[in-house]
Amino acid sequence: MIVGHDKLHPLEASDHKAFQKAPPAVESARAGEAGAGFAVVADEVRNLALRAADAAKQTADLIETTARKIRDGSQLVTKTNNAFGRVQESVSKVGELVGEIAAASKEQAEGIHQVNKAVSEMDKVVQQNAASAEENASASEEMNAQAEQMKAYVGSLVRLVEGTGDATKTRRLLPGKRAAIAIETKPLHMIPLDGGKSD
């Protein structure tokens, strides 16, 4: 295989050295007129061999450059594949994160729904408590009114029993009634203290 001047085939190297050592013009001069044609052919062969060696060197350089580019291209392909692998891993991780975010958003939406439902139930309970409080307040007012009526009624009875009230007319408040009803009371008969008859 011819790769350059320094790596010629043994026969080609010996011929090349022979050409350099004894040029065709010298050989033809030694051979006389018969070697004149040989000198021309030998000179052309020598030039052709030199051009072939240069072409071989250029071809070897081109092959080496191509091989280097192939190695560089192979490394670039490897790096590209590794980069695509990392991109694929990143895409997979992003997909997982998107799935987790979607699940968290769904749970959050369900939680908000439960909170809204609880707030609605609390509002209903508050409204019911407010209605019950109004009813209790109304009942309390009614009971207070009845208690005042009973207090007045008991006071009237106490004054009547003790004799400090009006003996002929005592005002009595009936329980559960806001209006006052007058009740007249009269003694049935008078008992004399001295045992005599009354007038």
First vs last Cα of the chain: how many Å apart? 177
The residue with greater pLDDT, 36 or 24, is 36
160 is in which domain, residue-wise?
Answer: 143-184
Which residue is it, tokens 């590794």? 82
The residue with greater pLDDT, 166 or 65, is 65
Average pLDDT, integer, range 172-183: 43
Domain count, the chain: 2
Lowest mean per-residue pLDDT among 12-16, 27-31, 55-59: 12-16
User: What is the pTM (predicted TM-score) of this model?
Assistant: 0.36
Average pLDDT, integer, range 170-176: 45
Give the count of beta carbons closer than 10 Å to the beta carbon of residue 157.
13
Q: Is residue 136 part of a domain?
A: no
Cβ 46 vs Cβ 19: under 8 Å: yes
Q: Is residue 58 part of a domain?
A: yes
pLDDT band at 174 (very low <50, low <70, confident <90, very high): very low
Quickly list H helices, 22-35. 24-31
Enumerate residues 6+ apart whose C-beta is below 8 A from 127: none
pLDDT of residue 51: 92
pLDDT of residue 5: 43
Is residue 81 located within the same domain as residue 152? no
Is residue 12 located within the same domain as residue 81? yes
Structure token pair of residue 128: 């019911």
Instruction: Give CA separation, 154 vs 56, 174, 189, in Å.
Output: 142, 11, 26
- In percent, how much of the chain has pLDDT > 90? 37
**pLDDT tens digits, residue range 81-139?**
999 999 999 999 999 999 999 999 999 999 999 999 999 999 999 988 888 888 888 88
Cβ 2 vs Cβ 56: under 8 Å: yes
Q: Please give the torsion angle defined by the CA atoms of residues 153, 154, 157 and 163, in that order, rounded to the nearest 10 degrees.
A: -120
